[in-house]
Every structure is written in C-alpha cells, then in structure tokens.
A and B are shown apart, each in its own frame.
Chain A
Amino acid sequence: MTRGQRRVHALVWPLLALVLAGVVLSALSERARVAAAAAAVLEAA
C-alpha cells in the first residue's frame, strides 16, 4: 500500500470502530427498551 493509503487506514478504522460501537450499543439499548415496553403493556393487560 502507498503511504497515503496507510494513513487513511490508520485514521478511518478508529472512527469506524466508534461508529460500529455506537450502532451496536444503541441497537441493544433500543431492543431492551422495546422489550421493557412490551412487558409493561402485558403487565397492564
């Protein structure tokens, strides 16, 4: 790889890791929120 490509790799992956971690954690949190809401609805019924 060229020097420029190596530089892009070194910059992009930490950013991409943050984005991926954000997506994963947000999706899990959303999943837990929906499950809690569904449980509350069931309990109320």
Chain B
Amino acid sequence: MAAGYVIVGWNRFKRAYDGVLLAGLAAFLAAHAGAGILLAPAGQHPSEVQLLIRASGAAAFSLLTIILCIGPLARLTPRVLPVLYNRRHLGVACFAAALVHGGLVVLWYHGFSEVNAFVSLLISNPRYGSFGGFPFESLGALALLILFVMAATSHDFWNHVLGPRLWKWIHMSVYAAYGLLVGHVMLGAVQGEKGLAQAALAGGSALLVAGLHIVAGQLERRRDRAVDGPPEGEGWLDAGPAEAIPDGRAVILVPPMGERIAVFRDGAKVYAVANACRHQGGPLGEGRILDGCIVCPWHGFQYRPEDGCSPPPFTEKIPTYRTRITGGWVFVEPSPQPPGTPIAPSIAGEAG
C-alpha cells in the first residue's frame, strides 16, 4: 500500500514462500541437468553449459505455466489464494531463469561471432519466411523482453505510479509472452528432439493454461451478464435480506452498467463499496472485515467500509455506494460516490 516503499515488505509468509520457491527451482535445475546426463546417448554427453541452458529454459517455461494457472485457479477455488498472494516473486524468478537461459545462449552460440552477439542471434538464421526453419530464438528474445518489462514494473511503486488500470494492461502482455514461448519451444527444442516428451509437455501446458483461462473467463462473463435486479423503486439494486449476508462478509452485486459492488455486513451495519481493489483489482467482496477494515483476499489491502479509505498512513481510496434497508431487505444505489466519500451505514433491524 502507498505509504513509502521498500524493495520487499518481508514477512514470515513471504520468507517461507520464497524459500520453497528457491528450493523448488534448485531441485528442478538439478533434476533436469541430471536427466540430461542420464538420458544422453552414449558418447554424446552435453556440456555443463548446454545442460544449464536447457534446464534454465525448461524452468522458465514451467514457472510461467504455473504463474498463468494461478489466476484462473484462484477464481475457481479460494484454496489457491495463498499462492496468488506472492505471485510476483514467481514472476521475477521466471524472468531470472529466462535471463540465465538467454544470456548463456547468446554467450555460448553467438559470443564468438564476427558481429555483435545479439545481432548474430537475430540474423544468423535468416529464414523468417519459413515455418519449420523459423529462427525460434527471436521468439524467445521477444518473450524475454516482455518478461523484463513485467519484472521491472512488478513492484507496488510502479503500480502506484502507472495507476492500477494501466499497470494491469501492461501485465496482461504476459499472455503474448506465453504464446511466444510456446512457439519458441515448439519450433526450437521440439524440432530437434528424438522423442515426443518435450512436445507433449509444452503442448499439454499450453492446453492446460488456455483451458483454465477459458473456463474461468466464461464463468466471470456469465456472472457479468446475470445483472442483479430487477431494479426496485428508484432503480436501486436488490441485495437480498440483510440477514442473508454473512457477518463480516459480503454479497457481490452486478449493476446493469459499471463495476461490481460489494455489500458488506458488519454486525448490524450494512455498507456497499466498489468490488475492485485499487491495488490489482482483487475481488474485495470475496474478502472479509477484520478489525473494522475490509481486507482484499489477494494481497491484504485494507479499506474502511464507511468511507472506502485505507487506514492511515495508507492513501488508497475506492468508491462507496448509498444503501438502505426496507423491511429487512438491502437496496444499493447503483451509481458510485467518488472514492473516499463517507456514507453512513444502513442498520439492519431498524424499522425501514
């Protein structure tokens, strides 16, 4: 949250997360290199550098596959949310593995070229018009560039400077990076291998990632189309009976226009705020009220339900909505108030 920035706001969970991540990455690299040695044909053992090139490339592709599965899985089951919390560290690890892979390729295969090694990478195979012989290295280089931009802007500082909306759009370029990497693997490593293991892994990964996104995307679209209503009275949205909202939790409304609304109940008080967190658009209505603040289920950003402001010293604000209770039924005005506008809560149980 925006109140002075440190490189990493370490806590116990982040340390454990990164410990598991680094240990897993090291084990993956060692296992991949070991398999490379054991499975190499007799007399054709690859060099240590070649083993590291292959292992780091496989690690980067696997990490990006995992990263891309986390988002849709978190929409399908909240059990994945703890992994989502620190996903950007996975992203930086993915970029680091890809950088090792790309750096070693440039040094090992192009370092002694007569032209600049990076230029050599792009022009040594000029068959850009061919499919089978396409210079797959250029696809990997472009994906690495995208991963660099994402890793460099992954910190909350950049989220704050660029604004959550632009930041999110920039980071959605990861889908293009993944497409480029699938092409890089299928036109590179897969063309040169004898068996079909890499083809099956890369193709299966792409199928899994695309399938999860399609399923989660369709569920969200269906929810967006099922507008809550019909609008009652002056066009206010029907949020159902106050007692049906679990204490400290919310129901999420979909207005005909505009963004989703989270309607929280805290004891007898009922509040309505925008459902999208200012940080990365997390679904606040799937969070809960703790110590008087709404807590985003993605990264723990907090907002006071009565005015949509983060508690001091933080400065984030979200829109609030007017509510009223009639006969125990909660209604919400669909037009938002400016972010940070105080709204008195409706009280459940009072005569309406």
Contact = CB atoms under 8 A, between A and B. Distances in A.
Interface of A: 1-3, 5-10, 12-14, 16-17, 19-21, 23-24, 26-28, 30-31, 33-34
A24 B186 contact: yes
A30 B132 contact: yes
B230 interface: no
A31 B297 CA distance: 46
B224 A3 contact: yes
B251 interface: no
Closest 4 interchain pairs by CB?
Answer: A27-B186, A17-B210, A10-B217, A30-B132
A44 to B, nearest CB: 21
A30 B172 contact: no
A33 B132 CA distance: 10
A17 B186 CA distance: 15
A6 B202 CA distance: 26
Interface string B167-183: 01100100100010011
Contact of B214 (A6, A14, A27, A33): A14
Interface string B111-143: 000000000000000000001100000000000
21 contacts: A1-B220, A3-B224, A3-B258, A5-B281, A6-B217, A9-B220, A13-B175, A13-B214, A13-B217, A14-B214, A16-B213, A21-B207, A23-B179, A24-B186, A24-B202, A27-B186, A28-B186, A28-B199, A30-B191, A31-B190, A33-B132
B281 A20 contact: no
Interface in B186-229: 186-187, 190-191, 199, 202-203, 206-207, 210-211, 213-214, 216-218, 220-221, 224
Contacts of A8: 172
Contacts of A12: 175
By secondary structure, the A interface counts as helix
Contacts of B191: 27, 30-31, 34
B197 to A, nearest CB: 13
B26 to A, nearest CB: 30
Contacts of B190: 27-28, 31
Given A9-B220, A10-B220, A17-B214, 14 more contacts: A3-B258, A5-B168, A5-B169, A8-B172, A9-B216, A12-B175, A13-B214, A16-B175, A16-B210, A28-B203, A30-B131, A30-B191, A31-B199, A34-B132
Contacts of B224: 3, 6-7
Nearest to B183: A23
B247 interface: no
Nearest to A19: B179
Contacts of B210: 13, 16-17, 20
B142 to A, nearest CB: 14
B165 interface: yes
Contact of A24 (B131, B206, B216, B258): B206
B259 interface: yes
A14 B207 CA distance: 11
